[in-house]
Amino acid sequence: MIDFVELKKQITMRDVLSALTWRPQYTIADEHRGYCPICEAGKSGRRQKQKFGFGANVAKQVFNCNRCGSHGNALDLYLRVQGQPIYQAAKELCERLRVPVPVLERQFGKRLCDRIVSTRTHE
């Protein structure tokens, strides 16, 4: 079992954009805008700002596309673009980013440990 809660904490929007080799057409503060890697709106044709419905915010770790209506977090973006089963896509993403795949072993015990550890590190 992959620990998706942990994975979402480890994977940033920047990581996913680089794994997808997506480059913004322009950037406003933390918002990167360009063609949509899911529906590909704005990928071809004239390069006009209003053609790009897709935006990824690297501070808020979210994306949205006003053409196809896709939105979500960094991991959601990768899953939508790759269109693979979640387990396979998550494993592949970790391999590309060279991060270990977080694994859920004993759910309750592990969660509790994580909570204790993270509480301590935030103090």
Nearer to Zn ion, 56 or 94 (CB): 56
Note whether 72 and 57 are within 8 A (CB): no
- What phi, psi does 38 have (nearest 5°)? -90, -60
Which residues lie near Zn ion (CB under 5 A)? Answer: 36, 38-39, 41, 65, 67-68
**Nearest distance from C-beta of residue 43 to Zn ion, angstroms:** 10
**Nearest distance from C-beta of residue 86 to Zn ion, angstroms:** 20
Nearer to Zn ion, 7 or 17 (CB): 17
**Nearest distance from C-beta of residue 90 to Zn ion, angstroms:** 22
**Nearest distance from C-beta of residue 27 to Zn ion, angstroms:** 18
Q: SS in 3 state form for 49-78? A: HHHCCEEEECCCCEEEECCCCCEEEHHHHH
Nearer to Zn ion, 54 or 102 (CB): 54
Listed in sequence order, the residues at least 6 apart from 1 whose beta carbon sits closer than 8 Å to its beta carbon are 103, 104, 105, 107
CA terminus-to-terminus distance, the chain? 30
Nearer to Zn ion, 20 or 68 (CB): 68
